[in-house]
Structure 1
């Protein structure tokens, strides 16, 4: 039996969402990609509130991508925060039309959550990945007024850290508490990164459990000494942060390093843009081609720079490969990670 989930304030989206099984998209063999998109509007569903890194990159893509898609459809960004972007991901997977008229962005660690056994009601490998406009490490940070400015100090002093929910913003401090002995007190439930930033600035929390370095740099906080970057999460250090340790480098055993490498792998997803399952192959390829053309256009790169955003693009094919590799993780490694940070049954 299906049920209705009403989301007030989402103009242009279905107010009543029928959650059901994923169907197959209708065949449009006789219709060209250009003819299909001519006069169409594409919804860009953003799994977080406005102002954060996912939102800023998704809106940048929404402003530019349509001119590279045959038929030049308009792309309209729509925020759908909730459950650390799981609400948006679930909508795109289970409810949205599977015809290439809905794009979205959500937590880069969805595939890790799935590998660990989190009950997502979706298969991350079934999304049609379009590309990511950037790829940079995530970091865990504290505000300059905090008593904690290093991992060693975090092992001695308990401080509140802001998080959106079951995403990297809670996973990173949780695993650091379990494996490294830090004493982070995780405060979950913030709608998005911008909300955590405000809470940090006002003293409601001491720091932020996760933020992408690409979206943090433009704020100038690091150069101004307003934040302490305790650790970076990725597989190689950022050029801007040569002295900040990678999370997996802090492991004391080979088993812990494997686990922390798995946790760090989603940084290779950047800020993923994807569409629903079952989009006709010719439309999926057209969307991927349009994305690749967009990120290679100096005009787009300049538009990103004007907003203080870097462009380090990843193709849809790369994202798909990364998701498949994460989901192929040895069960014992994924099970151990889930035992430390927990999953939603």
Structure 2
């Protein structure tokens, strides 16, 4: 697997973000959050889908949290969002003043026994996800690859961030379906891959959420080809695009591909650290549920070309737990095909 590294300039995080410890609950939730600032740690560079949704939530969620704290987004790209996830799990204050978003497939990586993952995905305090839509693998219109069958005949470079879905999908397709994707990793985020695809540096993108690519207008304008969608049911506007797990007639392979597809039910997760006092976690979840049901939030999302298909924090927790309960045999076999970076 080739590696492409691109240096990006980021701002320096404040000292308060560099160390943290659990803080015991004191007073009411409103008293705790009044006058506070919550940091929203985003595991990718600016401009991509995770970043867009996280910033949207950051602008609105504080209005629904008792005490109305300000929420400040901070990008912490690196290692396919694992840098941010590891910071939130291991370093950040465990008091409800740090939220974040990271790759939806962290639980699958854990189920596969990824030893580089220094966290327990079930230990985060899940707040909710503003959107749940399938991921897709796309190619640029000039790539010469319009279908999965084309990808079996023609080798093209596919951009990826690293050991996330953006490299996992093309890797597993190469191994099980015989495609010939040349996976170029190291891009800080999805927006960087988009620029690389437009400039001809790569010919496609290994994974992008359908909710993020639709507003670009590329599909309607014929600028991209959607080769496959990754999910457990088809998108209403992609009924002619095959689901990944449907591309094999082998039952064992289908089980493996369904596991790989399961994280789409997690969408763009917003979570907090482990060990947040229960009343604060519940307040954050209640605030999220109220926010995504508010017509003002839905309109604000639409103005940015973002759809709102919410998943509650309780649902996210249940999905993560279900993934982690996967048969060790199926998870181990998936792990044999995927090399996390």
Structures share fold, TM-score greater than 0.5: yes
C-alpha distance after superposition, 1:316-344 (max 9, x if no partner): 00000000000000000000000011245
Trace 1:151-300 onto structure 2 (pairs within 5 A): 151-300=148-297
- Quote the residue 2:89 is aligned against: 93
Partners of 1:186 and 1:343 in 2: CA distance: 13
Q: Say if 2:45 and 2:188, in contact at 8 Å, map to a contact too.
A: yes
Partners of 1:251 and 1:61 in 2: CA distance: 38
Partners of 1:135 and 1:27 in 2: CA distance: 33
Partners of 1:13 and 1:83 in 2: CA distance: 21
Q: Say if 2:23 and 2:93, in contact at 8 Å, map to a contact too.
A: no
Partners of 1:217 and 1:210 in 2: CA distance: 14
C-alpha distance 108-34 of structure 1, shift in aligned 2 (>3 A):
same
Q: Say if 2:129 and 2:313, in contact at 8 Å, map to a contact too.
A: yes
- Quote the residue 1:4 is aligned against: none
Q: Aligned with 1:146: secondary structure?
A: coil
Q: Say if 2:17 and 2:92, in contact at 8 Å, map to a contact too.
A: no
Query: Deviation of residue 252 (structure 1)?
Result: 2.5
- Quote the residue 2:133 is aligned against: 136
C-alpha distance after superposition, 1:252-295 (max 9, x if no partner): 20000000000000000000000000000000000000000000
The one of 114, 118, 139 equivalent to 2:110 is 114
Partners of 2:185 and 2:280 in 1: CA distance: 38
Query: 1:42 and 2:38 equivalent?
Result: yes
Partners of 2:230 and 2:244 in 1: CA distance: 5
C-alpha distance after superposition, 1:234-263 (max 9, x if no partner): 000000101000000001200000000000
C-alpha distance after superposition, 1:101-143 (max 9, x if no partner): 0000000000000101112110000000000000000000000
Partners of 2:146 and 2:67 in 1: CA distance: 52
Query: Deviation of residue 16 (structure 1)?
Result: 8.2
Query: Deviation of residue 92 (structure 1)?
Result: 0.3
Trace 1:301-316 onto structure 2 (pairs within 5 A): 301-316=298-313
C-alpha distance after superposition, 1:36-95 (max 9, x if no partner): 000000000000000000000000000000000000000000000000000000000011
Q: Aligned with 1:27: secondary structure?
A: coil
- Quote the residue 1:3 is aligned against: none
Q: Say if 1:115 and 1:327, in contact at 8 Å, map to a contact too.
A: yes
Partners of 1:188 and 1:227 in 2: CA distance: 20
Partners of 1:278 and 1:296 in 2: CA distance: 27
Query: 1:55 and 2:51 equivalent?
Result: yes
Query: 1:31 and 2:27 equivalent?
Result: yes
Partners of 2:10 and 2:155 in 1: CA distance: 38
Q: Say if 2:245 and 2:258, in contact at 8 Å, map to a contact too.
A: yes
Gaps of at least 5 residues in structure 1 are: 1-6
Query: Deviation of residue 27 (structure 1)?
Result: 2.4
Q: Say if 2:136 and 2:228, in contact at 8 Å, map to a contact too.
A: yes
TM-score (norm: length of structure 2): 0.95
Partners of 2:301 and 2:180 in 1: CA distance: 37
Partners of 1:16 and 1:117 in 2: CA distance: 29
Gaps of at least 5 residues in structure 2 are: 1-7
Trace 1:317-328 onto structure 2 (pairs within 5 A): 317-328=314-325
Partners of 1:310 and 1:91 in 2: CA distance: 29
TM-score (norm: length of structure 1): 0.94
